[in-house]
Amino acid sequence: MIGLPCLGIKNLLSPYVLTGEKIAIFEAGTTNTAPLLLEGLDRLGIRREDIDYLIVSHIHLDHAGGAGFLAGELPSAKVLAHEAGARHLIDPSRLIASTKKVFGEKKVMDLYGEIIPIPAERVIPLKDGDLVDLGGGRRLEAIYTPGHAPHHLCLYDPLTKGIFSGEALGVWVEDIGVFSPSTPMPDFNLDQSVASVLRLLECDAGVVYFSHYGWTEDVQNTLYKIIGQLLCWGQVVRSGSEEDAGRRLARYVREKEWEQWDTVRLAQERDCGELLEWMAWRTGAVLAPGILNFYRQKQYGREGEK
Ligand SMILES: [Zn+2]
């Protein structure tokens, strides 16, 4: 892991370097943090020309904003992203425009730095189930995990039983020891988010590596807690007028009611589908029709189920 500061927060971004016979970096960070990532490679004794793949979980600027700059510094690296996001790496104009609309022109440059387009021949689109073969028996599997963004993917590494979760599981706020759902407008989708966490539970992983920030070996407990939080947030936001949804959510987060939920016991006693039903009942959350069936048939997020 190469820890990076971002948005004024010391430990916010954590790209990973995965080595086999080939070498991959997971997450680019921003253009502003790219020099620190390169310094991290130097510290690890890895030469820039030996990087074969730069893989991003999604194209938000804190994950992929620096990919264009890094592509210039890593001469052999192909840049990999989900097929629905890859074209925005080649032509980032829409991405830049929408980010400027949110933050303002100067702020985008200050926060993230210049966004540099990547030549199309260096970009490889990934879809669910695709394998990135690093050689030496290490093959990373792309897991399509929409919700945080419609083009989000995680990686599963069978060799270490590790999930590289990008932002599908939200943000770990280390200082206060909680996980916060990450629900950006306009594309966040609650039901897809929950389904994606369920999907990650199926991996039977022994460790989760977050992109924000660090890792945990307490996988099952953490994933169930995140499902509970997502459903709670959904319910809080839906429980009154749109105008004061933010205030309700802030109050709810302060009170941290979700911590009282005994999700670990439930996870042990029930199968996951039942747990979801129970949580939906407990919170009054309205799940998209068919989502439980999607899960039961273990199809959601797979090829043909976009
Ligand atoms: Zn992010």
Is pLDDT of 130 > 90? Answer: yes
Quote the ligand 1 centre to 168 CA distance (angstroms): 9
Highest mean pLDDT among 54-58, 198-202, 213-217, 290-294: 54-58
Quote the ligand 1 centre to 281 CA distance (angstroms): 31
- Domain residue extents for the chain: 4-218, 225-296
Quote the ligand 1 centre to 32 CA distance (angstroms): 15
Quote the ligand 1 centre to 3 CA distance (angstroms): 14
pLDDT exceeding 90 applies to what percent of the chain?
A: 51
How far apart are the C-alpha atoms of 149 and 58, rounded to whole Å?
7
- Which residues hold their Cβ within 5 A of ligand 1, which is an ion? 62, 167
Quote the ligand 1 centre to 86 CA distance (angstroms): 17
Quote the ligand 1 centre to 90 CA distance (angstroms): 20
The pLDDT tens digits for 144-191 are 999 999 999 999 999 999 999 999 999 876 655 556 788 887 789 988
DSSP code of 47?
A: -
Quote the ligand 1 centre to 275 CA distance (angstroms): 28
- Residues 194, 200, 204, 210, CA torsion sign: negative
Average pLDDT of the chain, as a whole number: 82
pLDDT exceeding 70 applies to what percent of the chain?
A: 79
> What pLDDT sits at residue 123?
98
Tokens 């792309």 sit at which residue? 142
Is pLDDT of 305 > 50? Answer: no
Any bridge partners for residue 141, and if so which? 131, 156
Structure tokens, 34:
């790219």
> What pLDDT sits at residue 103?
72
The pLDDT tens digits for 255-264 are 654 454 444 4
> What pLDDT sits at residue 261?
45
Extract the runs of DSSP E, i.e. beta strands, from 83-224: 123-126, 131-135, 138-144, 153-157, 162-166, 171-173, 178-180, 207-210, 214-216
Judged by phi (left if over 0) then psi (alpha if -120 to 50, else beta), residue 301 lies in left
Give the pLDDT band of residue 204 (cuts 50, 70, 90).
confident
The separation between CA 238 and the C-alpha centre of its own chain, rounded to angstroms, equals: 24
Quote the ligand 1 centre to 183 CA distance (angstroms): 10
Judged by phi (left if over 0) then psi (alpha if -120 to 50, else beta), residue 188 lies in beta
Phi, psi (deg, nearest 5) at residue 73: -90, -20
The CATH architecture of the domain made up of 4-218 is 4-Layer Sandwich (3.60)
> What pLDDT sits at residue 274?
55
The pLDDT tens digits for 38-51 are 999 999 999 999 99
Quote the ligand 1 centre to 268 CA distance (angstroms): 31
